[in-house]
Amino acid sequence: MDPSAVHRSRWRILAVLCLSLIVIGMDNLILNLALPRVQHDLGATGGQLQWIIDAYTLAFGGLLLLGGGLGDRFGRKRMLITGLALVFGFTMAAAYANSPEMLITMRAGMGVGGAFVMPATLSIIKHVFPAEEQAKAISMWAGSGAIGVPLGPVLGGLLLEHYWWGAVFLISVPIVLVAMVACALMIPESRNPDRRPLDLVGVLLSVAGLGVLVYGIIEGPRYGWTDGLTLSALAAGVVFIGAFVLWERHTPYPMLSGKLFRAPLFAGSAVAMFCVNFCLFGLLFVVTQYLQFVRGHGPLDAGIRLLPVLTAVVGAGLGSKLVEKTGIRSVAAVGLVALTGSMLLMARADAGAESVALGALALFGFTMGLVLPPCANAILAAAPPEQGGAASAVTDATLQVGGSLGIAVVGSVLTTSYRDGLPDLGGLPAPAAEATRDSLGGASEVAARIGGEAGQGLSAIASDAYVTALADAMTVAGGVAAAGVLAVLVLMPGGKPEGQEDSAPPVRTTTPPSTHRERKPVA
């Protein structure tokens, strides 16, 4: 593609990349509203519901660094189209899954595709935009990702009103096809001209560490936190992650260079992004069940009530302007304080306080838009252009690992607190009592079968226990956000942007548009 044409088309290329990102955002979150229907139709347990969500984020987060490295090595456009093709195939299969296990597997496959797509979008932005426009482009990129947060549940809720739960997956199918064609026609190929060996050992250790650790957290309420299996999984996860850190420090071609995290601005930005996604995934996991089971809304009405998260678009527009005036540390710290407030506000929601939940969603959305774009830009600024895919993958991996742990930790606190809040269920048959203790969805099923005043009484007891558990889970999420405030204040350099230049690596770009040329494919 002609270099001047690339420069002229950069904003259209950005639109195609944002379309791809919207697909990933929708796939990430669209299933949350369908969880009650999935639980009913497939007989999924509370733990399986967590795995249905976390299978995607774990595969996504665990393979992002590999996806970014493959893009740098074999071509970012090629990896983007390959990832979209994988998303298409596994999405179609997930729509017709007939068991929780099959759905979990297909969701993991969708996550693999997403791991190729997301780092490619950011690294292509860095490739086609000059330095002075990258912050604006990344802000628009992040804003488009935020659109997928409420858009997926609303469209999914509309389909759930009329079709089976698998229909929620089919929304993204035509969008993926359009994105694939547009990518093939409009986006120039780019890659790192230096062939670096792939760090497959690092990939295996990181995936094993996160997978086993999250397994222990999710299954802890089921087996007991002092059970040998739970403790073994948690310990093994820590060992694998420790081995990953040691390996990355000593291998000549690390998947994730420790030098990056020794840069204060890089480390502080990564912490801030981790905290935002930890709270996002934890919040959406509990609030979709709260709106449907406790408040009694149908899928569409519940999806519409997630629209306050669109305040992220406002926050994204304001964040970059504030960074120019006050510096990124002030913006990130204030944003995480607001994030803490949104979690604690959500903790105050009860069966009759829906306005509190909507206010918490609006405050959270604004916080997400305020924090994520400048932090993503700071991370990309730390990397040279030939490692754009790897730097993009670090950004995305931080988000996805935060999301995976958010679902695992918040979901486990929710389950443990919910079970502890239930009274003695000795009057119920053993299967019914176990279903009631497993989740609020199970309790609703049992209450519907019992019917009458007895069923209404059981439903009220389970709802009260869930609201108490929701408060505990959101308080824990608020604690994580508060810890993030302290980390940002300690790690990030202070002052206005002029004072940050000594602490932050300069933004480097690819060859200027006037001399921009497409590299020949690697043989």
Spell out the per-residue pLDDT of the chain, length 523, in tens: 455 555 678 888 888 888 887 777 676 667 777 888 888 888 888 778 878 877 887 787 777 777 877 887 788 889 999 999 999 999 999 999 999 999 999 999 998 998 888 778 877 887 788 877 877 887 777 667 666 666 777 777 788 888 888 888 888 888 889 889 988 888 888 876 666 677 788 878 887 887 788 788 877 777 777 888 889 988 998 999 889 888 888 888 776 666 666 777 778 888 999 999 899 888 988 888 888 888 888 888 888 888 888 888 788 778 878 888 888 899 999 999 999 999 999 999 886 678 899 999 999 999 988 898 888 877 777 655 555 555 666 676 777 778 878 888 898 899 889 989 998 887 788 888 888 888 888 888 888 888 888 888 888 899 999 999 999 999 999 999 999 999 999 988 766 544 344 334 443 333 333 334 334 333 3
Question: Cα(514)–Cα(523) distance, rounded to whole angstroms?
Answer: 27
Question: Cα(244)–Cα(199) distance, rounded to whole angstroms?
Answer: 11
Tokens 């595969």 locate to 59
pTM, two decimals, is 0.74
Question: Cα(471)–Cα(421) distance, rounded to whole angstroms?
Answer: 12
Question: Cα(76)–Cα(68) distance, rounded to whole angstroms?
Answer: 8
CB 490 within 8 A of CB 367: no
Question: Cα(240)–Cα(135) distance, rounded to whole angstroms?
Answer: 36
Buried b (16+ CB within 10 A) or exposed e, 333-370: bbbbebbbbbbbbbbebbeeebeebbbbbbbbbbbbbb
Q: How far is CA 180 from the centre of its chain?
A: 22
Q: Which amino acid is at 27?
A: D
How many helices and strands (H and E) does the chain possess? 22, 0
Which CATH entry fits the domain spanning 3-199+263-497: 1.10.3720.10, 2.40.160.10, 1.20.1250.20, 3.40.190.170? Answer: 1.20.1250.20
- Which residues lie closer than 8 Å to 353 by C-beta, 6 or more apart? none
Q: What share of the chain is helix, strand, coil (3-state, %, to 5)?
A: 80, 0, 20
